[in-house]
Chain A
């Protein structure tokens, strides 16, 4: 772990890379969950129509 820390300390560009990856994972997870929620609502509306 300390070796990895020392490596990052000496190569700052990899810290930037890790931060960008974390941001990307965050954006992706947000979009994925939003898409899933929308699909759920769309299914619910379709279900309502069929019941009527």
Chain B
């Protein structure tokens, strides 16, 4: 109960601070964010868009961990946990793509430019979309769980490349690209000129969204486990 109140207050604070704290050229007060040339007010998307991309990685990682667990112990509950995590990962992947495209319209002039970051997240969506197609095409529970677990592990190998490597070593429009003028070394987005209060709100946002993910995942797999229990009960009579 305590952590739920903490989560509510944390994300409420992130929403208030992330939206209403002003962006000024020379921040003097703790609640002021610095002006980043070229991004201006658009920079505030970082508090909401980056956490969705972060949860994409977390979702796919959790899915892979439970896939490995399933292959080792052959417990179908682990397959359910892996499935729900991947489902959430894909939902947040779509959210990251849509919020990024809306932002790009105002920052780059068009919704879609096939920037390396956009291309890589699109490839990830296709890879994990295929995973769900694979799952829905197999009727046998055990066979489905085993094949899904193997596919999930193989699919996750591509995630670090598509999220952390490719968009940073290639030239592109997205902050953090190899030719990004704010991060000449092509480092992570957080390297661009954020001050300490902006960084604090950003990391609080990441923590809040991660707790929210845990809650959604927990409720998701518990409801699926219950559904499976009821189905088995019905079959047995």
Contacts and interface: CB of A to CB of B under 8 A. Distances in A.
Given A16-B19, A17-B20, A38-B219, 14 more contacts: A13-B20, A21-B12, A21-B16, A24-B8, A24-B11, A28-B7, A28-B8, A31-B216, A34-B219, A35-B218, A38-B222, A38-B223, A38-B226, A45-B226
Interface of B: 4, 7-8, 11-12, 15-16, 19-20, 215-216, 218-219, 222-223, 226, 229
**Size category, A interface:** 10 to 19
Contacts of B219: 31, 34-35, 38
Nearest to B215: A31
Nearest to A11: B20
A24 B15 CA distance: 9
9 contacts: A13-B19, A17-B15, A17-B16, A20-B15, A21-B12, A24-B11, A28-B4, A28-B7, A38-B223
A14 B20 contact: yes
A51 to B, nearest CB: 15
Contact of B215 (A35, A41, A45): A35
- Which of B219, B226, B229 has the most chain A CB atoms inside 10 A of its CB? B219
Interface of A: 13-14, 16-17, 20-21, 24, 28, 31-32, 34-35, 38, 41-42, 45
Interface of A is mostly: helix
B222 A32 contact: no
Given A38-B222, A45-B229, A20 B19 contact: yes
A50 to B, nearest CB: 16
Nearest to B44: A13
B232 to A, nearest CB: 12
Contacts of A21: 12, 15-16
B15 to A, nearest CB: 5
A11 to B, nearest CB: 8
B19 A24 contact: no
Nearest to A39: B222
